[in-house]
Copies of this chain bind each other. A is one copy, B any other.
Amino acid sequence: MTQNIYDKKEFFEGYSQLPRSRDGLEGAPEWPSLRALIPDLHGLHVLDLGCGFGWFCRWAREHGAAQVLGIDVSEKMLARAAATTHDDAITYTRADMEHLELSPSSFDLIYSSLAFHYLENLQRLFSQMHRALVPGGNLIFSVEHPIFTAPAHPKWITDAAGHNTWPIDSYLDEGPRSTDWIAKGVIKQHRTIATYVNLLVSAGFSITHLDEWGPSREQIASEPEWADERARPPFLLLAAHR
């Protein structure tokens, strides 16, 4: 089973302080790009895989979704999600995505933000998601970008002139990467873009959009410390339909 780092006290407390935890979707710089991929939600049945504190579930309801199911493996996150949600059309369920059983043709949209790169096995989940969508239904998800997850030592190298480069050294070697992010020894699965795309295609999906997300020039103007994020994109956003 996937490491459940979010329920470790040190990690949970650190993660809770991030802008995306405190301020929700607006605290995530990639949200405008992700939002641009989301269809009109009116009347739709929505599944959020890795729903965390439930920010997207509540947003989806505020934007017309008929029913929203949020799934997460973290007990602590789901407890906070439930405590801050007052809406009978939103349900939260604790489950491990690698062993999920979803009913056929039961969702119009499946959404997932920065969750799939924790999973060791995506093939089964992608098949489940395809089966769980209605024909024409959409899958929209983000993961950490493979350029971001590839390095054995994911730290900027600064040369004598102060120029930063990101040290790619094992891009094609897929598998776990242990990083010290909020807590020590957080395990993420490095996969290539090709693997994400080919898994989607072989599960039956049609790719509709791919975004190697980095901050826009406008975002950098207001947050200059984000400039390096254009040098190597931190997130990969994918949209596909059944």
The smallest beta-carbon distance between A223 and chain B, in angstroms, is 16
Instruction: Contact check, A212 vs B193: say whether CB atoms are below 8 A apart.
Output: yes
Tier of interface size on chain A: 20 to 34
Residues of B within 8 A of A212 (CB): 171-172, 192-194
The smallest beta-carbon distance between A241 and chain B, in angstroms, is 11
Kindly report how many copies of this chain are found in the complex they form together: 2
Residues of B within 8 A of A166 (CB): 167-169
Stretch at the interface among A66-74, A112-120, A202-210: A202-210
Residues of B within 8 A of A233 (CB): 171-172, 192
Q: Does A84 contact B (CB under 8 A)?
A: no
Q: Which of A183-242 contact B (CB under 8 A)?
A: 192-194, 197-198, 201, 206-212, 214, 230-233
Stretch at the interface among A22-30, A90-98, A157-165: A157-165
The smallest beta-carbon distance between A26 and chain B, in angstroms, is 22
Instruction: Contact check, A168 vs B169: say whether CB atoms are below 8 A apart.
Output: no
In the assembly, what is the distance between CA of A233 and CA of B172, in Å? Answer: 7
Instruction: Contact check, A207 vs B211: say whether CB atoms are below 8 A apart.
Output: no
Residues of B within 8 A of A230 (CB): 170-173
